[in-house]
A and B are shown apart, each in its own frame.
Chain A
Amino acid sequence: MNAPAYNFAYLDEQTKRMIRRAILKAIAIPGYQVPFASREMPMPYGWGTGGVQVTAAILGPDDLLKVIDQGSDDTTNAISIRRFFEKTAGVATTTSTTDATVIQTRHRIPEATLHAGQVLVYQVPIPEPLRFLEPRETETRRMHALAEYGLMHVKLYEDIAHFGHIATAYAYPVKVNDRYVMDPSPTPKYDNPKMDNCAALQLFGAGREKRIYAVPPYTKVVSLDFEDHPFSRYRFDAPCALCGSEDSYLDEIVIDDRGGRMFVCSDTDHCESRQAQGHRGIQNAAPHKEAPHG
């Protein structure tokens, strides 16, 4: 399988060492953004170059890899990254959240509870939570160093002043281990509580911005809020149209040009395993035939 021109998992061993050092440092200082010498990857920035480098650095031949994009195992980004590692590392892949040892994700945390020994790798476009409030990198670094996070609340204040509630729906800032404020990558805020005290190791890679950060297992992760406007999760008020799930995060799919829409689980593995167990939503009368991917 392995193309001889490539080292295992594409990156050369020196690069992997460099990335692993950054990862170790990131784990040692939860939520702190560690700079690293991000490499050019055979994909454009914004397609997960940071996540791919982190995955490449931690992947071993025995790992079972799952890649999701917005919760889905079968979108372009997920498939291309999965095939990239099938080709360059020859590792086994899966769509099952529970079986996977390494899960690379873009913008979702799977619905199934992660367990100890798993690693969740996030693709991060903009690692700096303070970026759109404070444009200077020197200043944001200093603010992190001195734990001056008043500005983060300015953003939440603006939301309430303009919309009556905290309208930030994704990339909702969190405080990790009572110290660093961190951008959880553009995951919906519905997923934020899953980061808290999570059994799996969470690694974040930002390729273009050249930053790696991490949340070690069983670390406290708190979503920022106001006393009188506490953090709340958001999901569409509907069951999944395919599996009938009442508590998973839903995608809204427009199905015609007359305002018709359906809501389905964003996590395809979750939805398919529920359907395999016989759960049915309103738009899914026929028995589920599709075989799982992988």
Chain B
Amino acid sequence: MAETNGMSAHDQPLLAAEGLSKNFGRLAACRDVSFTLYPGEVLAVVGESGSGKSTLLQLLSAQLAPSGGRVSYCMRDGVMRNLATLGEAERRFLFRTDWGYVHQDPAQGLRMAVSAGANVGERLMAVGWNHYGRIRNTASNWLERVEIDTARIDDAPRTYSGGMRQRLQIARNLVTEPRLVFMDEPTGGLDVSVQARLLDLVRGLVTELGLAAIVVTHDLAVARLLSHRVMVMKSGRVIESGLTDQVLDDPREPYTQLLVSSILPP
């Protein structure tokens, strides 16, 4: 299942999953998932509800311990490390510096009661920034980049609309310039025009910053717009994977064909 995607051999993968599986009692939520992700690459994981997408994301981001297999990540010093062997301090440090995690529900990823500026600044303060002016400038730059009016920097996100919250969550995650961003249904629950703007924004940021991203979505349009590669999951297994246009335009597996054909024509 691992593919090099035409990259030269000396390119080191950013993240590699080998035979990942997770059982919840007798239920196998993930079975034998293997892939590699390279720097700057966007991978979409698609599939219906209950196909194991979110479990996979949690396994990859070390929030769940796998029942089998392992996840390795290329740390900033260039060494591949097995995530299971990282200490908790290292894992949490990774999570708030080198990684981003965009939740479907922004309330989970944001502190709803503190101002937008502090939400963006929190990660900076967590890595030791100690200059109010600089934190605030950086926060306000990021609000601009995600198209939030900087006049609202001191408002709490609970006064924001759904789309703004999601953009704020993205700013909060990207402020430490992570190399890898996990996104769990980033456009879920947003109306269509807001979705389109958000996708446009994310696509712009990903290209600009050279981010690698793993996007879990049930929306094939999101996969098509954002991702370079797609993995299709069903019952915890990856049943098909490949370049996005290849998989979506010329699906091989019957299930993928069904998924693709169930999109309403515009």
Contact = CB atoms under 8 A, between A and B. Distances in A.
Interface stretch (A67-75, A84-92, A152-160, A208-216): A152-160
B131 A161 contact: no
B27 interface: no
A228 B133 contact: yes
Contact of A150 (B89, B117, B125): B125
A253 interface: no
A227 interface: yes
Interface string B112-132: 001101100111111100111
Given A146-B88, A162-B154, A154 B118 contact: yes
Interface residues of B, number: 24
Given A146-B88, A150-B125, A151-B122, A158 B114 contact: yes
Contacts of B88: 142, 146
B92 A161 contact: no
A162 B156 CA distance: 11
Given A146-B88, A150-B125, A161-B118, A227 B154 contact: no
B115 A161 contact: yes
B111 interface: yes
Interface string A228-269: 110000000000000000000000000000000000000000
A229 B132 contact: yes
B203 interface: no
Contacts of A142: 88
B136 interface: yes
A161 B131 CA distance: 13
B135 interface: yes
B89 A157 contact: no
Given A157-B118, A158-B114, A229-B132, A148 B126 contact: yes
Given A148-B92, A158-B114, A226 B131 contact: yes
Contacts of A227: 130-132
Nearest to B121: A157
A150 B111 CA distance: 13
Contacts of A158: 114-115, 118
Interface string B122-155: 1111110011110110000000000000000110
A270 B226 CA distance: 69
A158 B117 CA distance: 8
Nearest to A151: B122
Contacts of A146: 88-89, 92
A154 B89 contact: no
Nearest to A150: B126
Interface in A155-174: 157-158, 160-162
A154 B125 contact: yes
Nearest to A227: B131
A94 B110 CA distance: 52
Contacts of A161: 115, 117-118, 136, 153-154
Contacts of B96: 150
Interface of A: 133, 142, 146, 148, 150-151, 153-154, 157-158, 160-162, 226-229
Interface of B: 88-89, 92, 96, 111, 114-115, 117-118, 121-127, 130-133, 135-136, 153-154
Give 3 closest A-B pairs by Cβ, nearest first. A150-B126, A153-B125, A150-B125
Given A151-B125, A153-B130, 10 more contacts: A148-B92, A151-B122, A154-B111, A154-B114, A154-B121, A157-B118, A161-B136, A227-B132, A228-B132, A229-B132
